[in-house]
C-alpha cells in the first residue's frame, strides 16, 4: 500500500537561535487511509514539525512528502489550497486558532464557504449538523469564542476541521491545554468521529496515556528521529527501545499499581546539541560502548515493527559498556 501520506527521508532544518538545527532528521513514515497514528516524544523531538510537514505547511529541507502518491504541492499554491480541504489541522490552543470577533457558527462554516462547498440554507444546515456531531448546543452557534469553555472551543475547532470532510486530520497536542477531566471527552470525540468518517489521523502528543486510547499505531520520536514504531498494543505491552520503555513505564494502567518505573536521567533533549551516535545514549541505562559512536538504524524487529537500538542488533548483543 502506498499510503495516504508518506514522508520519505524527510528532513527539516530550522533556524533556532543561535544555529540551524535539524528538527526532523531522516524520517520515513507512511500513514494509511483511515488509520490513527500517534507521534509521541518530549518537547523538542520534532513531532510538531513532522506534523506540519505531513500537511505541507512546512516543506522538507530534504526528502519528500507524498499525498495520495503525489508530491505535496508548495504551501499556498493553488494545488495546495485545493488539497487543503482534504487535510485539516487541530492545534493545541483553540483560542489562538479562533477569531474572537466571529461567532462560532460563522467560523465552523468558514471552510465550507472558502472551498465553495455550501452557501445559504445549505450552509446553515451543514453547520448545525457539525455542531451536533461534536456535541455543541445549537444556541452556542451565536456565541463568541471567549464565551465558551476550553473544551467547547476545542469542539468548535474539531467541527471546523471536519466541515470539508477531510481524509487526513493532524491533531497536535489537541487536549494538552484542557483540564484533565475534559481531556478524555475530547479524545473520545475524536476517536468516534475518526471511526465514523474513516479519517486518517495523526495524533501528536507528549502524553503517552492520551495516545493509548485512540491510536492504532505509534511512532516514538527522539531528537528528530523515529526510534520506535509499532502497533499501539505492542508499544504498551512490549516496548523494545529503552526510551519507549521509560515512557511506557510511567503510564498508569487502571487498577494496577505503577511498577518498575524507569526514571529518565539527564537533560531533556536539546535539538541544538545532538549527542553523537545514538542521541539517547547520555540518558540510556543500557548504553553500550558503540552507542556513543554509531547511530543505530531504524530497522524491522518483527513484521510491522521497527526500532533503532544497538541492543536489538544481534551483532552487538553481549557487548558491555
Instruction: Indicate whether 26 belongs to the interface with ligand SF4 (CB under 6 A).
Output: no
Grid cell at residue 123: 450552509
The residue (of 85 and 170) whose beta carbon lies closer to Mg ion is 170
State yes or no: residue 234 binds Mg ion (CB under 5 A): no
Distances (CA, A) of 218 to 10, 28, 91, 227: 18, 14, 19, 11
Shortest spacing between CB 206 and Mg ion, in angstroms: 8
Note whether 227 and 238 are within 8 A (CB): no
Segment interacting with ligand SF4, rule: CB under 6 A, options 36-44, 95-103, 258-266, 285-293: 285-293
Stretch that binds Mg ion, among 43-51, 180-188, 260-268, 278-286 (CB under 5 A): 43-51
246 binds ligand SF4 (CB under 6 A): no
Q: Does residue number 49 form part of the binding site for Mg ion (CB under 5 A)?
A: no
Rule CB under 5 A: is residue 88 a binding residue for Mg ion? no
* Rounded Cα distance, 210 and 176, in Å: 9
Phi, psi (deg, nearest 5) at residue 287: -55, 140
HSE-CB for 182 with a 13 A CA cutoff: 13
* Dihedral sign for Cα atoms in the order 247, 45, 24, 232: positive
Q: What's the gap between Cα 263 and its chain centre?
A: 24
Q: What x/- string results for residues 73 through 112 when contact with ligand SF4 is judged by CB under 6 A? A: ----------------------------------------
**What is the spatial distance between Cα 224 and Cα 310, in angstroms, rounded to a whole number?**
18
Neighbours of 151 (CB within 10 A): 19
Residue 45 touches Mg ion, criterion: CB under 5 A: no
Cβ(53)–Cβ(60) under 8 Å? yes
Dihedral sign from CA coordinates of 273, 274, 279, 281: negative
Instruction: Pick from 59, 117, 262, 286 the residue near ligand SF4 by CB under 6 A.
Output: 286
Per CB under 6 A, contacts with ligand SF4 among 264-283 are 278, 280-281
Contact 276, 6 (CB under 8 A): no
Q: Which is nearer to Mg ion, 48 or 107 (CB)?
A: 48
Closest distance between ligand SF4 and the C-beta of residue 306, in Å? 14
Contact set for ligand SF4, span 290-319 (CB under 6 A): 291, 296, 309-311
Can you read off the three cell numbers belonging to residue 74? Answer: 508548495
- Smallest distance from the beta carbon of 171 to Mg ion, in angstroms? 11
Segment interacting with Mg ion, rule: CB under 5 A, options 31-39, 44-52, 154-162, 211-219:
44-52
48 binds Mg ion (CB under 5 A): yes
Count of residues touching Mg ion (by CB under 5 A): 1
User: Which residues 6+ apart lie within 8 Å of 120 measured at CB?
Assistant: none
Shortest separation between residue 265's beta carbon and ligand SF4, angstroms: 12
Q: Which residues contact 238 (CB under 8 A, 6 or more apart)?
A: none
Contacting range for Mg ion; rule: CB under 5 A; set: 47-55, 57-65, 209-217, 261-269: 47-55
The residue ranges of DSSP E strands in the chain, in sequence order, are 5-16, 19-31, 36-40, 62-67, 70-71, 87-90, 168-172, 200-205, 217-222, 225-231, 299-302, 305-307
Instruction: Pick one of 242, 246, 248, 271: the residue that binds ligand SF4 (CB under 6 A).
Output: 242
Contact residues toward Mg ion (CB under 5 A) are 48
Contact residues toward ligand SF4 (CB under 6 A) are 241-242, 278, 280-281, 284, 286-288, 291, 296, 309-311
Amino acid at each position: 500500500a502506498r499510503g495516504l501520506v508518506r514522508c520519505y527521508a524527510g528532513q527539516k532544518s530550522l533556524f533556532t537561535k543561535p544555529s540551524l538545527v535539524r528538527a526532523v532528521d531522516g524520517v520515513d513514515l507512511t500513514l494509511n487511509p483511515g488509520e490513527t497514528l500517534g507521534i509521541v516524544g518530549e518537547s523538542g523531538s520534532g513531532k510538531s514539525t513532522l506534523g506540519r510537514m505531513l500537511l505541507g505547511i512546512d516543506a522538507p529541507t530534504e526528502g519528500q512528502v507524498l499525498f495520495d502518491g503525489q508530491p505535496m504541492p508548495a504551501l499556498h499554491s493553488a494545488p495546495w489550497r485545493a488539497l487543503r480541504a482534504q487535510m485539516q489541522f487541530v492545534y493545541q490552543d483553540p483560542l489562538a486558532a479562533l477569531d474572537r470577533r466571529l461567532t462560532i457558527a460563522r467560523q465552523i462554516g468558514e471552510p465550507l464557504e472558502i472551498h465553495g462547498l455550501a452557501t445559504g440554507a445549505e450552509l446553515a444546515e451543514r453547520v448545525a449538523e457539525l455542531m451536533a456531531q461534536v456535541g455543541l448546543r445549537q444556541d452556542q452557534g451565536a456565541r463568541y469564542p471567549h464565551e465558551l469553555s476550553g473544551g467547547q472551543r476545542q469542539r468548535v475547532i474539531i467541527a471546523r476541521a471536519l466541515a470539508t470532510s477531510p481524509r487526513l486530520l493532524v491533531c497536535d497536542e489537541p487536549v494538552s491545554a484542557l483540564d484533565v477531566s475534559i481531556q478524555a471527552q475530547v479524545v473520545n470525540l475524536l476517536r468516534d468521529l475518526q471511526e465514523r468518517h474513516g479519517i486518517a489521523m495523526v495524533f501528536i502528543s507528549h502524553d503517552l496515556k492520551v495516545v493509548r486510547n485512540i491510536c492504532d499505531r505509534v511512532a516514538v520520536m527522539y531528537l528528530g528521529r523515529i526510534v520506535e514504531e509499532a502497533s499501539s498494543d505492542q508499544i504498551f505491552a512490549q516496548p523494545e527501545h529503552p526510551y519507549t520503555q521509560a515512557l511506557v513505564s510511567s503510564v498508569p494502567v487502571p487498577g494496577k499499581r505503577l511498577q518498575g518505573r524507569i526514571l529518565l536521567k539527564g537533560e531533556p533533549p536539546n535539538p541544538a546539541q545532538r549527542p553523537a551516535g545514538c542521541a539517547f545514549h547520555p540518558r540510556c541505562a543500557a548504553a553500550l560502548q558503540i552507542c556513543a559512536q554509531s547511530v543505530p538504524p531504524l530497522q524491522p524487529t518483527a513484521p510491522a515493527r521497527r526500532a533503532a537500538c544497538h541492543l536489538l542488533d544481534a551483532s552487538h548483543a553481549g557487548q558491555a559498556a
